[in-house]
């Protein structure tokens, strides 16, 4: 995948946004479990949702409001990826380092641009057993906690990446992560906020311009977890 820097924040992170390298706290996890009436520290196993079912739960322009337009998917690329300065993340391989689609077979994704600005927002939904989702996210999170800065080389482009752990948003869910990513290349920088919430067998990741993530996170979670 080619990392593009000279466009928007999501332009350089089209492949990087799926990295759930975010902050989580035991307190949030236990509080969410208590609200849901689940034993603290337990992981419930529930029915996995199909990709088609996930797609129907994605936000669409009518949910977001005026000014939002769907962003066409870029053709998949397969450039070699090298991670510098983060051995733990490098060990996970190039696909993990650049994100792409996480390796859960049931998934759906939508991206939008906002008005005539460079602001963008992306939503990804994944479904698997709660335990697999939890373990998969924690594996990448553990790799990232010791790497607040690193570099990614993809398709000949060098991108400097800095991550800042943020306080989890306090929304409903069993586990939560949130971080601010700064991507710098060719003298230009872009900032992307990424928040991920696992609710039982469903993982919701909202990434993009920080103001848009804050504005639409609760809406994305509510639609994704609605039962009717």
Fold for 9-225, please state it: Protein Transport Mog1p; Chain A (3.40.1000)
At residue 95, does pLDDT exceed 90? no
Whether residue 25 is predicted with pLDDT greater than 90 in this model: the reply is no
Report the C-alpha gap between 119 and 67 in whole angstroms. Answer: 11
Residue 86's closest CA among 6, 153, 182? 153
Among the residue ranges 6-10, 171-175, 204-208, 220-224, the one predicted with the least confidence is 6-10
pLDDT digits (tens, 9 = 90+) for 102-124: 778 899 999 999 988 889 999 99
Percent of the chain's residues with pLDDT above 70:
71
* Residue partners of 156: CB distance under 8 A and separation at least 6: 79
Backbone phi and psi for residue 178, each to the nearest 5 degrees, phi listed first: -155, 140
* Domain boundaries defined on the chain: 9-225
pLDDT reading at 179 higher than 60: yes
Q: Are 213 and 195 in contact (CB under 8 A)?
A: yes
For residues 112-148, b (16+ Cβ closer than 10 Å) or e, as one string? bbbeeeebbbbbbbbbbbbebbbebbeebbebbeebe
Q: How far apart are CA 204 and CA 217, in angstroms?
A: 9
Indicate the pTM of the whole model.
0.77
């Amino acid at each position: 995948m080619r990392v593009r820097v000279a466009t928007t924040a999501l332009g350089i992170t089209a492949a990087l946004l799926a990295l759930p390298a975010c902050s989580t706290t035991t307190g949030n996890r236990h509080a969410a479990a208590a609200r849901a009436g689940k034993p603290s520290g337990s992981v419930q196993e529930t029915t996995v949702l199909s990709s088609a079912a996930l797609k129907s739960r994605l936000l669409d322009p009518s949910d977001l409001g005026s000014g939002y337009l769907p962003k066409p998917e870029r053709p998949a690329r397969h450039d070699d990826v090298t991670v510098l300065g983060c051995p733990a993340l490098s060990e996970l391989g190039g696909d993990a380092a650049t994100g792409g689609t996480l390796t859960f077979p049931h998934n759906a994704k939508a991206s939008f641009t906002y008005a005539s600005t460079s602001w963008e927002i992306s939503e990804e939904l994944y479904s698997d057993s709660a335990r697999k989702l939890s373990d998969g996210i924690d594996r990448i999170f553990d790799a990232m906690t010791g790497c607040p800065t690193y570099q990614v080389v993809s398709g000949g482009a060098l991108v400097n990446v800095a991550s800042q752990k943020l306080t989890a948003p306090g929304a409903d869910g069993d586990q939560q992560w949130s971080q601010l990513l700064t991507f710098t290349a060719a003298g230009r920088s872009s900032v992307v906020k990424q928040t991920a919430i696992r609710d039982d067998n469903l993982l919701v990741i909202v990434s993009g311009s920080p103001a848009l993530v804050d504005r639409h996170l609760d809406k994305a979670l509510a639609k994704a977890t609605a039962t009717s």
